Amino acid sequence: MASSLLTPETLQRLANAGLDPSRLPRHIAVIMDGNGRWAKSRGLPRVEGHRRGVMSVRTTIEECCRLGIGQLTLYCLSVENWKRPQAELDFLMTLLHEYLIAERAEIMEQNIRFTTIGRREGLDAPVVREIDENIRVSRDNTGMTLCLAINYSGRAELVDAVKRLAVRVRDGELDPDAIDETLLSEALYTGMMPDPDLLIRTAGEMRVSNFLLWQISYSELWVTSKCWPEFDVATLHQALHGFASRERRFGGLT
């Protein structure tokens, strides 16, 4: 963890939660699943699940900042989600647009550096405009990096990365024999971001759903049966305690 994120307040917060700073993930990625199921189980429209899920997003971001986590990546909208009913998609775009505006002040107050990954094609122009504005105003912030995966697909990301490298080869800038894991990693949307140490998935689903396929090769997976609108500080702490209890060997031996 970056020492600049370990303030006295952060260390006290970690101590209160029984968390060891040396055993925290640098980068947490989250598949936020179960908004619709949460709403359906309560006799509510699916869109109310998405609305309630925004509260869990806010809570999770705030607590990760307090704990000194270096990066949080949230899976907001997948390429596959475009198959959903148009009314739901329209609501999601409106909700995202409102969120980007409403949280700008908090992003600046918390010293968060905001960024996104995914394809921009298909996103509403007002959403793209607010994404760019949040990136612009927060580019010099030095706290946690908040990355939203919007219109994202792990397979599409790999295709786009290969295309970037192919163009460089075609233009004589790159020898094909020089392509290695480092070059491919740098060509991904995530560029020089650290790979996630911990991948959290809600709603009990045991799959990665085309999310950060290259980057999670050695991530620890932690799944909760809670739907995303139920995800709270206590659940986040459970995930972090679970991560801290694991022995990470990366294919080697202790």
Domain count, the chain: 1
pLDDT at 99: 97
- Asked whether residue 77 is assigned to any structural domain, the reply reads yes
Identity of the residue numbered 117: I
pLDDT at 248: 79
Helix and strand numbers, DSSP H then E, in the chain: 9, 6
Pairing assessment for the beta strands 198-201 and 220-223 based on DSSP bridges = parallel
The series of mean pLDDT values per 10 residues for the chain, 254 residues long, is 72 96 97 97 96 97 97 96 92 96 97 97 95 98 98 98 98 98 97 97 97 98 98 98 89 64
- Asked whether residue 254 is assigned to any structural domain, the reply reads no
pTM of the predicted structure, to 2 decimals: 0.94
C-alpha closest to that of 112 among 128, 96, 100, 122: 100
pLDDT at 252: 67
Q: How far is CA 206 from the centre of its chain?
A: 18
- Asked whether residue 111 is assigned to any structural domain, the reply reads yes
pLDDT at 247: 87
- Asked whether residue 189 is assigned to any structural domain, the reply reads no
Separation in Å, CA 95 to CA 122, 123, 242: 16, 13, 32
Handedness of CA 32, 198, 190, 169 (dihedral sign): negative
- Asked whether residue 179 is assigned to any structural domain, the reply reads no
pLDDT at 2: 47
Cite the DSSP H helix spans in the chain: 8-17, 35-41, 46-67, 86-102, 104-109, 125-138, 154-170, 181-187, 233-244
Residue 144, both tokens? 């946690």
- Asked whether residue 163 is assigned to any structural domain, the reply reads no
- Asked whether residue 185 is assigned to any structural domain, the reply reads no
Give the CATH number, domain containing residue 146: 3.40.1180.10
pLDDT at 30: 98
Structural domain range at position 44: 3-153+197-242
- Asked whether residue 116 is assigned to any structural domain, the reply reads yes
pLDDT at 249: 72
Active site residues: 33, 81
pLDDT at 1: 45
pLDDT at 167: 98
pLDDT at 98: 97
